[in-house]
């Protein structure tokens, strides 16, 4: 399988994040992509650089003022005080219920809070470059499918499925799966399905397509009653307006077994089949692995072969986009197992 790998991912390398109130080293690090690259290269997958510019597609996915902020955020931060170049900015205020979000504050702290859902998307000097490179990879993979290829993998970071139309969060800045879906539609597809198998609900992806019927969004994830992102991902969220019936959430209790997870996958695949999709985008979160430090499902490495083989039976041109997965030692093996399971099915 052809894999798109933007080397600029390493430009996004925050030193720390805040996890459960503690300052810790970032779980989402450049090492994740490098270990996946090492494993898929060893197994003979072809690696190539992105060859498409996602700028026009990003304008279909994200609000213009959000894109303008994100592209210039670091420069704005350093302009306040040159010594900020050695500090990471974090939001400290958010426009929650009854507060206005239609006006963009002139104060940087106000803007950062306006465009953030949490403190979980730390910015550094190279964040925009890395995030744009990931979106370019998603556009490139979709373009390959539109030209006749059956599958491609985006070995990308930072991930994207928590990024909504006008906000970042959960390590995500630009929604790569949404970019891939828009690129497939632009390339001739009429009905696209996005399947999110990350442990954490892809709230950003749901928000982007919630009112649309041309993109079906299906997600299997930890129950938001107890799991991040908490405020979206419930089973009663089925779409709105033209999108009614085109959003399916399959939340599972923390600690759910592999068999429970694959039972949910069977439901997801049945819904994708009924959508009569002509292309599939897989938000490939690998934090469903039993050893993941910030998730609580029970899949083991061999289960990822089964995941790949199951998706192959949908018989759809498929773009795989790397999302979460923080058990770094096993991440490469688990990613490669999905791709090999898909190809060998």
Domains along the sequence of the chain with CATH: 2-344 (3.40.800.20)
**Tokens 């690090």, located at residue:** 29
pLDDT per position as a tens digit, 161-205: 999 999 999 999 999 999 999 999 999 999 999 999 999 999 999
- Given pLDDT bands bounded at 50, 70 and 90, which one contains residue 19? confident
pLDDT per position as a tens digit, 45-54: 999 999 999 9
Q: Of 17-21, 86-90, 249-253, 327-331, where does mean pLDDT reach its minimum?
A: 17-21
- The residue-averaged pLDDT of 121-143 equals 98
Distance between CA atoms of residues 216 and 58, nearest Å: 19
pLDDT per position as a tens digit, 232-272: 999 999 999 999 999 999 999 999 999 999 999 999 999 99
Query: DSSP characters for 215-231?
Result: EEEEEEEE-TTTSTT-S
Query: DSSP characters for 42-90?
Result: HTT-EEE------HHHHHHHS-HHHHHHHHHHHHHHHHH-GGGGGS---
Query: Can you give the pLDDT at residue 127?
Result: 98
**Tokens 């730390």, located at residue:** 122
pLDDT per position as a tens digit, 156-170: 999 999 999 999 999
Q: Please, are residues 100 and 110 in contact by the beta-carbon 8 Å criterion? A: no
- The residue-averaged pLDDT of 205-219 equals 98
Annotated active-site residue 221? The verdict is no
Distance between CA atoms of residues 277 and 262, nearest Å: 21
- Given 12, 62, 161, 162, which residue is catalytic? 162
pLDDT per position as a tens digit, 244-255: 999 999 999 999
Coil/strand/helix, residue 185: helix
Read off the DSSP letter of residue 278: S
Helix, strand, coil percentages in the chain from 3-state DSSP, rounded to 5: 40, 15, 45
- Given pLDDT bands bounded at 50, 70 and 90, which one contains residue 38? very high
Query: Can you give the pLDDT at residue 188?
Result: 96
Residue 20 has pLDDT above 90, yes or no: no
Q: What is the chain's mean pLDDT, rounded?
A: 97
Distance between CA atoms of residues 150 and 89, nearest Å: 41
Distance between CA atoms of residues 111 and 101, nearest Å: 10
pTM for the model: 0.97
Residue 302 has pLDDT above 90, yes or no: yes
- Given pLDDT bands bounded at 50, 70 and 90, which one contains residue 345? confident
Distance between CA atoms of residues 229 and 223, nearest Å: 9
Query: Can you give the pLDDT at residue 21?
Result: 84
């Amino acid at each position: 399988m052809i894999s798109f790998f933007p080397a600029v991912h390493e430009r996004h390398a925050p030193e720390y994040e805040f996890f459960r109130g503690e300052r810790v080293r970032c779980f989402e690090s450049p090492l994740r992509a490098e270990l996946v690259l090492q494993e898929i290269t060893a197994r003979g997958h072809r690696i190539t650089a992105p060859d498409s510019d996602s700028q026009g597609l990003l304008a279909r996915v994200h609000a213009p003022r959000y894109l303008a902020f994100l592209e210039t955020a670091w420069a704005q931060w350093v302009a306040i005080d040159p010594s900020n170049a050695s500090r990471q900015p974090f939001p400290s205020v958010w426009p929650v219920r009854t507060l206005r979000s239609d006006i963009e504050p002139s104060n940087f702290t106000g803007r950062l809070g306006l465009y953030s859902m949490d403190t979980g998307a730390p910015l550094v000097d190279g964040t925009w470059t890395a995030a744009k490179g990931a979106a370019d990879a998603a556009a490139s993979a979709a373009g390959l499918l539109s030209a006749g290829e059956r599958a491609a993998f985006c070995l990308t970071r930072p991930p994207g499925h928590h990024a909504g139309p006008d906000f970042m969060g959960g390590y995500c800045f630009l929604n790569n799966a949404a970019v891939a879906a828009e690129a497939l539609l632009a390339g001739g597809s009429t009905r696209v399905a996005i399947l999110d198998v990350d442990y954490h609900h892809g709230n950003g992806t749901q928000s982007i397509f919630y009112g649309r019927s041309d993109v079906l969004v299906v997600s299997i994830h930890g129950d938001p009653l107890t799991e991040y992102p908490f405020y979206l991902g419930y089973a009663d969220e089925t779409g709105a307006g033209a999108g009614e019936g085109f959003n399916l959430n399959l939340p599972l209790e923390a600690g759910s077994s592999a068999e429970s997870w694959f039972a949910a996958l069977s439901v997801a695949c049945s819904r994708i089949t009924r959508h009569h999709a002509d292309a599939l985008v897989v938000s490939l979160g690998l934090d469903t692995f039993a050893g993941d430090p910030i998730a609580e499902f029970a899949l083991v490495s061999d289960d990822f072969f089964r995941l790949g083989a199951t998706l192959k039976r949908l018989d759809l041109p498929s773009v795989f986009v790397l999302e979460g997965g923080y058990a770094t030692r096993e991440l490469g093996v688990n990613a490669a197992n999905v791709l090999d399971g898909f190809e060998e099915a």
